[in-house]
Each structure stands twice: as structure tokens, then as C-alpha cells.
Amino acid sequence: MSDKTILRALKGEVLPTPPIWMMRQAGRYLPEYRATRAQAGDFLSLCYTPDLAAEVTLQPIRRYGFDAAILFADILLLPQALGPKLWFETGEGPRMETTTTMAAVKALKSKDLIHETLSPVYETVRILSRELPRETTLIGFAGAPWTVATYMIAGRGSKDQGAAHALKSADRETFSALIDVITEATVDYLSEQVKAGAEVVKLFDSWAGSLKGADFEDFAVKPTARIIAALRARHPGLPIIAFPREAGQGYIGFARKTGADCVALDNSVTPEWAAAHVQVSGCVQGNLAPEHMVTGGEALVRETRKVVEAFRNGPHIFNLGHGITPDADPENVALMVQTVRNG
């Protein structure tokens, strides 16, 4: 068995100190990230330049010695590889050519052609698997189909995912066809990341919380389960983390229904509740509120200890409940790491 702590936790081992990494650990709160990003020019050039993408992935590992590195890329690269144009408006966020009709879904590229666009991402993974310290686990990732579809349908981020919900109600056939295209392409995309050296993969379903009732089962649980089953058939034993953000009660049984080895938790659930209802069926990841990386101090130390304590009796990977924000103080991250490791 591997001695990498993240892999041990993912296999269900209860460790005396939880392994730790952080969502968006390579990001704008780090001066060295801002410098490399300036060198790349814009965000997408950074994603598609393997040496620079590998460099920013390594920066938080050098600074904090996190137990895992997450490939630097974005969930929107896969839909871009399917054809729609993608760009980032400065200070606003992503914009994408929309896919809202059956004709547009049919016009998407075949999944065999995505690798033409995505090959630099696989090269970044290969560089990282050579350059990471031997104790650090390399995590690859993709967006889950529902979350990716919300951007493809609206052409941008939105608070309520209204455009995707509207298409789901008005034209279920088109909506389901789009989910299927993304699901199949995601399997191939993640499979290439694994072949290039990713040791774990994570599915980000950032907007899972807006799917209710049967929709949650049909569009968060089922596509995730399909991706996991297909990946496991190709890569037996591959550890997989799923993040159905803000799933609430939907977290209960999510690992069992999808086959994920670990469920990542956001801050809408308390660690005590999650230990009792989610960690009972396997490894969990999370869930310190990212705000503490901005505010720091005694509250950071107290809340960090609370998370560690609540999950102490089961397999746990320490993380934030969502990505660290650009206004965070790098010193607070160091304090969190020290508190997790030294108590």
C-alpha cells in the first residue's frame, strides 16, 4: 500500500493527523501566483502553458507542504474543447458561447476530438508527476455534468442557475442530451489525466445544491455514478472525490449511490452533523469556512480544531468548505496548516 497520507485516508484509514490541502490553493491570494499569471498574460494562457500551469500548482506545495497538489486548470476547459468559445471578462468571470438547442448539442465536437485542445493539460500532469515531492498526491479534476451544463447553457456564471433550470423544464430532451455529451467527454478527459499521472480525481459539482428532489438524483447523482463506474472499469482502484456542493441532506448516501471514495463537504453542514451522517459511510473532506483565511486569529485556530476534532474518529482529509478567496492572507493559511498538524 502507498504511504501517501491522502491515498491512505481515501482507502478508509483513520490517521492521527488528517492530511490537508486546500481548494484553489494555487490562486490570487499568493503573490507568486499573481507574478506567474502576469507572465502568462491571461488566465486561459496560464491554463494552456504546461510549464507555467505546473509552476503555479507547485507554488502552494513549496510554501505550505500540502499533502496534495491539484492540477491547475479550470472546469470550463472541457466544454471549450467541445467547441463553444470561452473567454474571461476581467473582474467579472467566464463567458461562453451558449448551447441551448438540440442543433447546438449535435454540433458539439465528438469526444474523440477534445484531446486536441486539452493535450497541454495532460502535459501539465506529466510535468507534475515528475516534479512533485514523493509524499505529495496529485489530484486531477473536472466539473460534474450539471455544473458544466449551467455554464454552457447560460454562457456565464449565475447565482441561481436559472437558465439551466429553465431549459431542463422546457426542453428536457435537449437538456438530457447535453448532460450525456458532457458525461461521456468527462470520462475520457479524466481518463487521460490518470494516464498522464493523476493519482486521484475530483468531480466539482459546485451548483448541485440548486437541484432538488428527483432532479438531484437524475442530474447530480446519476451522471456522477456513471462517470465513476466508467473510470473504475478503465482504472481499477482509482480513488475518486465528489463534491456535490450545498447538497444538504443529499450528502447522506451520496458516496454509496455514486461509488465515490470520499465526499467533500461545504460549510452549509456542521462537522458534527457530517461526522454522524456522512462520515459513517466513508472518507469525508472539509470543511473549514474559507472566511477564516481572511480573518485569521483565535477564531481560525478554534474553528480549525473543531473540524479536526469532529472528524477524528473516521477517515478525513482536511480542507476548506469552498475555494480560498483572493483577499485571503497567506499567513492565515500557514496558521491553519500548523494548527491541523500540531494541534
Question: Where is the binding site for substrate, in residues?
Answer: 24-28, 74, 151, 206, 322
Q: Which residues carry out catalysis?
A: 24, 28, 37, 74, 151
Give the shortest CB-14-to-ligand 1CP separation in angstroms. Answer: 26
CB 119 within 8 A of CB 49: no
Q: Is 72 in the site for ligand 1CP (CB under 6 A)?
A: yes
**Footprint (CB under 6 A) of ligand 1CP, residues 205-234:** 206
Give the shortest CB-8-to-ligand 1CP separation in angstroms. Answer: 22
**248 or 306: CB nearest ligand 1CP:** 248
Q: Is 323 in the site for ligand 1CP (CB under 6 A)?
A: yes
Of 73, 78, 74, 85, nearest to 178 by C-alpha is 78
Q: Is 26 in the site for ligand 1CP (CB under 6 A)?
A: yes
State the first-to-last Cα distance of the chain, in angstroms, to the nearest integer.
27
Cα(71)–Cα(50) distance, rounded to whole angstroms? 10
Q: Is 24 in the site for ligand 1CP (CB under 6 A)?
A: yes
Of 54, 175, 59, 65, nearest to 122 by C-alpha is 54
Enclosing H/E stretch for 32: helix 31-40
C-beta nearest to ligand 1CP: residue: 157
Give the shortest CB-104-to-ligand 1CP separation in angstroms. Answer: 21
Instruction: Give the CA dihedral 85, 167, 144, 304, nearest 10 degrees.
Output: 110
CB 152 within 8 A of CB 21: no
CB 78 within 8 A of CB 146: no
Cα(187)–Cα(197) distance, rounded to whole angstroms? 15
For ligand 1CP, the binding residue among 65, 93, 133, 343 (CB under 6 A) is 93
Give the shortest CB-76-to-ligand 1CP separation in angstroms. Answer: 6
Binding mask 29-58 for ligand 1CP (x = CB under 6 A): --------x-----x---------------
Under the rule (CB under 6 A), what is the footprint of ligand 1CP? 23-28, 37, 43, 70, 72, 74-76, 93-94, 141, 157, 204, 206, 323
